[in-house]
Structure 1
Amino acid sequence: MDKQTTESESGGTLVEGVMATIRQRIAARSLTPGARLPSIRAFAKSMQVSKSTVVEAYERLAAEGAIRSRPGSGFYAAGSLAPLSLAEIGPRLDRAVDPLWISRQSLEAGDDMLKPGCGWLPASWMPQTGLRRALRTVARADDIALADYGTPLGLPPLRQLLARRMAGHGIEVSPEQIMLTESGTQAIDLLCRFLIEPGDTVLVDDPCYFNFHALLRAHRAKVVSVPYTPSGPDIELFAQALAEHRPRLYITNSAIHNPTGAILSPVTAHRLLKLADQSELTIVEDDIFADFEHAPAPRLAAFDGLNRVVHIGSFS
């Protein structure tokens, strides 16, 4: 009997060898669910086996549920992906990451793509009924001034409301100390324009919100990362970074840190502020997730009294 069509040199049958090859490609993500398998003729040629061997292998895989047959169309990978084993991943390749590309991808990607670290909430979580009601109320107002220019700091009644809300977080601030922007990102951008020059060093957490890197790159700042722990930045390494790089800014999240979810501890906060005071460092506290806390976390702005800390909140 022809060995080419019945038995491989390793002891298993050629049919089993073809099946193993397909399973490996599915496990390695070379064949994803719904992907079309090579034609019987093409696969037989590439594997150097007979077409009948491939036919039998495909039929047996279809019986197992690993692939599916579509009459007149061919065979397709079926089911969910096999669990990815980290042991099968190749060696780590250190390479530069383009933060601007990541930002563009997060905006252009479809709804079916996960966007870890973006911090965007599902539309179903939004109080859409309340927002519609508020917009209708504004539209019906007699003294509506949507087409007029606003004041430089923003709508006074809204700043008064924000001052009262911030007092609930222990941050004593007057409406005159609050500036309204279109987003938290714009607020950080304005601070970078005002406080740093190209070539200045800015500290960020490692890991941190990816858009911080994109913003700082746009301002041609030198970015230095400090490892973030469950209680805040690693204070010893933070002090080393201050001494070595003399940064102008430190951008961080104190409550519900993005992307780790960690919360700054009071001890770390006090040590951090002491270091900032000694080195004349300005801290930008990005606090956009405050409304999702189960219990209030320490705020650098509350401990500092807004001397070296700029506090940013957001509804966007």
Structure 2
Amino acid sequence: MILFEPDRRRNAAPTLVDQTVTALEHAIQAHLLRPGMILPSVRKFARDHGLSTFTVMAAYNRLVARGLLQSRPGAHFRVSRQKQAAPATVPEWVAPRIGASWLLADVFADHSISIKAGCGWLPPDWHDQAGLPHAMRQLSRVPISQISSYGHPLGYHPLREHIAHSLLEHGLEAAPDQVLLTHGATQALDIVVRTLLRPGDHVAVESPCYANLLQILALNRITVHAVPRTAEGIHEATLQALARQHPIRALFVTSVLQNPTGASFTMAGAFRLLQLAERHDFLVVDDDTSRDLLPEPAPMLAALAGASRVIYVSGFSKSVMPSTRVGYLTCAKPLVDECARTKMSLGLTSTEVMERAVYHVLRDGRHSTYLRGIRERLRQAHDQVTAAMHAHGFEVWGEPGAGLFLWARPPAPRPTGDELIRLTEQALKAGIWLAPGNYFDPEGRDEGWMRFNVAYSGDPRLWRFFHRWAAPR
């Protein structure tokens, strides 16, 4: 049975293997090859179609992997008897129900939302289109024997060396064995919490703060106290009062381009915080994932106070790509060793393949040029979105001019409670994701604030929606 005539031109696309796979798929779908039917041997199929046995074997094996063919060692290939899946249909889209689970989990798999004004990452077309693909091609040349094991508990050593060197440029001295690579910065926070704290321990967090941190602390049954975020850092009087009233073990902050406000510590604010930490003897955990997006230097808490007082957490979801899931933490060596044991208990080692890929990206001389371009695009986006907010009567909490986020709320009368939920649900039905501020509040308070990602918030449809929403009021 001749199923197709291969296109053997040198630059033909698709390849001969792809052509063979497609021809066999069509034959199975058209019932020319019926369930249970034995296929021609590899040699016969190759001879009949003028192909190499390597091409036919590769095509047969690919169809086995897809479940369309079955094979046993030393036996023929035959068409699978399992029921073939019906052609995929696109279901009618239904707006998801607003809730913390959607914000923290479901949204990452929800590709139906076209305007992700509330999300926490760069648009796909903003990412370096050459950096990671080039790194993956480099990795394909690495002998499998070098990447087939679990890897070192601390993570890929050359990347840890690179991180230590880059931190030194900010004034933070850390040896490579003080750097623990993790499955993203969020896992680094989870490891710190599980290593340092026990149920019932008291910690302080910024208000508002990173929503996933609140979930991590809740899952570990940690007692959380809120400290208002200010333009310079945190509200020192509130923190000092809390430290006098409770045995605060740690303070969790984001010193640069905070999520969700976009604010950064001033040097004065950083010094005052560290003085309080020294006076009341608590650790500071700095989640510093967006520093690469900041155009100007900013104080680094760990460099000012040292590794014995500050646990430094960062990662590459903003500067390289979220899908790499490579983060890290650095602190005093004994605590790094404890965190490494926690990491191994949770999931053994981190993914060395992706750590190698990130290392290749960072070592590529084009990465710094890419980051400069991203900073400029974000600056322009801030200008555009801030202007739109003022034009529509929004209140903007600070105007950082850099990073991903703006913290703002619609004009009076401010939507809060059920009205804010209705606004967010209406936005979802219009294909717009908004991020209500109560998800970022340690006490779940709703004061009408929202997190806006400037890279997604310049779309005119977003502002037409807000105009329509405000018109009848």
Write the deviation string for residues 98-121 of structure 1: whole angstroms up to 9, x where unpaired: 7556412433444335353x5211
Partner of 1:233: 234
Q: How does 1:136-285 map to 2 (within 5 A)?
A: 136-142=137-143, 145-285=146-286
Q: Is the contact between residue 204 and residue 252 of structure 1 (CA under 8 Å) also seen in structure 2?
A: yes
Q: Is the contact between residue 99 and residue 214 of structure 1 (CA under 8 Å) also seen in structure 2?
A: no
Kindly state the Cα deviation for residue 284 of structure 1 after the two structures are TM-superposed. Answer: 0.7
Give the AA of the match of 1:112: S
Give the AA of the match of 1:286: D
Give the AA of the match of 1:159: R
Give the AA of the match of 1:237: T
1:114 to 106, 113, 116: 116
Write the deviation string for residues 60-99 of structure 1: whole angstroms up to 9, x where unpaired: xxxxxxxxxxxxxxxxxxxxxxxxxxxxxxxxxxxxx975
Query: 2:171 and 2:253 mapped to 1: Cα distance?
Result: 18
Query: 2:165 and 2:149 mapped to 1: Cα distance?
Result: 26
Kindly state the Cα deviation for residue 303 of structure 1 after the two structures are TM-superposed. Answer: 0.3
Partner of 1:286: 287
Query: 1:216 and 1:124 mapped to 2: Cα distance?
Result: 34
Distance change (3 Å), C-alpha of 1:98 and 1:271: farther
**Partner of 1:173: helix, strand, or coil?**
coil
**Partner of 2:229: helix, strand, or coil?**
strand
Write the deviation string for residues 271-311 of structure 1: whole angstroms up to 9, x where unpaired: 11111112221111011001101101111101011121011
**Partner of 1:145: helix, strand, or coil?**
helix
Query: 1:123 and 1:247 mapped to 2: Cα distance?
Result: 40
Kindly state the Cα deviation for residue 142 of structure 1 after the two structures are TM-superposed. Answer: 3.1
Query: 2:139 and 2:228 mapped to 1: Cα distance?
Result: 46
Query: 2:139 and 2:242 mapped to 1: Cα distance?
Result: 49
Partner of 1:302: 303
Query: 2:142 and 2:153 mapped to 1: Cα distance?
Result: 23
Query: 1:100 and 1:216 mapped to 2: Cα distance?
Result: 16
Query: 1:144 and 1:265 mapped to 2: Cα distance?
Result: 48
Kindly state the Cα deviation for residue 249 of structure 1 after the two structures are TM-superposed. Answer: 1.5
Give the AA of the match of 1:175: P
**Normalised TM-score (structure 2):** 0.44
Kindly state the Cα deviation for residue 146 of structure 1 after the two structures are TM-superposed. Answer: 2.5
**Partner of 2:261: helix, strand, or coil?**
coil
Distance change (3 Å), C-alpha of 1:99 and 1:172: farther
Give the AA of the match of 1:114: K
Write the deviation string for residues 181-214 of structure 1: whole angstroms up to 9, x where unpaired: 0100000000011000011112111111111111
**Partner of 1:261: helix, strand, or coil?**
coil
Query: 1:290 and 1:195 mapped to 2: Cα distance?
Result: 25
Kindly state the Cα deviation for residue 143 of structure 1 after the two structures are TM-superposed. Answer: 6.1
Give the AA of the match of 1:150: G
**Partner of 1:135: helix, strand, or coil?**
helix
Query: 1:100 and 1:277 mapped to 2: Cα distance?
Result: 37
Q: How does 1:3-18 map to 2 (within 5 A)?
A: none
Runs of 4+ in 1 over 6 A off after TM superposition: none
Kindly state the Cα deviation for residue 165 of structure 1 after the two structures are TM-superposed. Answer: 0.9
Query: 2:297 and 2:263 mapped to 1: Cα distance?
Result: 13
Q: Is the contact between residue 138 and residue 144 of structure 1 (CA under 8 Å) also seen in structure 2?
A: no
Query: 2:298 and 2:232 mapped to 1: Cα distance?
Result: 11
Q: CA RMSD in A?
A: 1.8
Partner of 1:16: none
Query: 1:199 and 1:113 mapped to 2: Cα distance?
Result: 40
Query: 1:106 and 1:189 mapped to 2: Cα distance?
Result: 21
Partner of 2:376: none
Query: 1:198 and 1:277 mapped to 2: Cα distance?
Result: 24
**Partner of 1:313: helix, strand, or coil?**
strand
Kindly state the Cα deviation for residue 147 of structure 1 after the two structures are TM-superposed. Answer: 2.0
Extract unaligned runs of 5+ from structure 1. 1-96
Q: Is the contact between residue 160 and residue 175 of structure 1 (CA under 8 Å) also seen in structure 2?
A: yes
Partner of 2:104: 103
Q: How does 1:13-52 map to 2 (within 5 A)?
A: none
Q: Which has the higher contact order (CA 8 A, sep 6+)?
A: 2
Query: 1:172 and 1:231 mapped to 2: Cα distance?
Result: 25
Query: 1:131 and 1:122 mapped to 2: Cα distance?
Result: 15
Write the deviation string for residues 205-245 of structure 1: whole angstroms up to 9, x where unpaired: 11111111111111111111100011000111111111122
Q: Is the contact between residue 208 and residue 258 of structure 1 (CA under 8 Å) also seen in structure 2?
A: yes
**Normalised TM-score (structure 1):** 0.65
Query: 2:219 and 2:266 mapped to 1: Cα distance?
Result: 32
Query: 1:199 and 1:98 mapped to 2: Cα distance?
Result: 26
Partner of 1:312: 313
Kindly state the Cα deviation for residue 154 of structure 1 after the two structures are TM-superposed. Answer: 0.9
Kindly state the Cα deviation for residue 247 of structure 1 after the two structures are TM-superposed. Answer: 1.6
Give the AA of the match of 1:264: F
Distance change (3 Å), C-alpha of 1:226 and 1:261: same
Distance change (3 Å), C-alpha of 1:192 and 1:293: same
Query: 1:280 and 1:100 mapped to 2: Cα distance?
Result: 35
Q: Is the contact between residue 199 and residue 220 of structure 1 (CA under 8 Å) also seen in structure 2?
A: yes
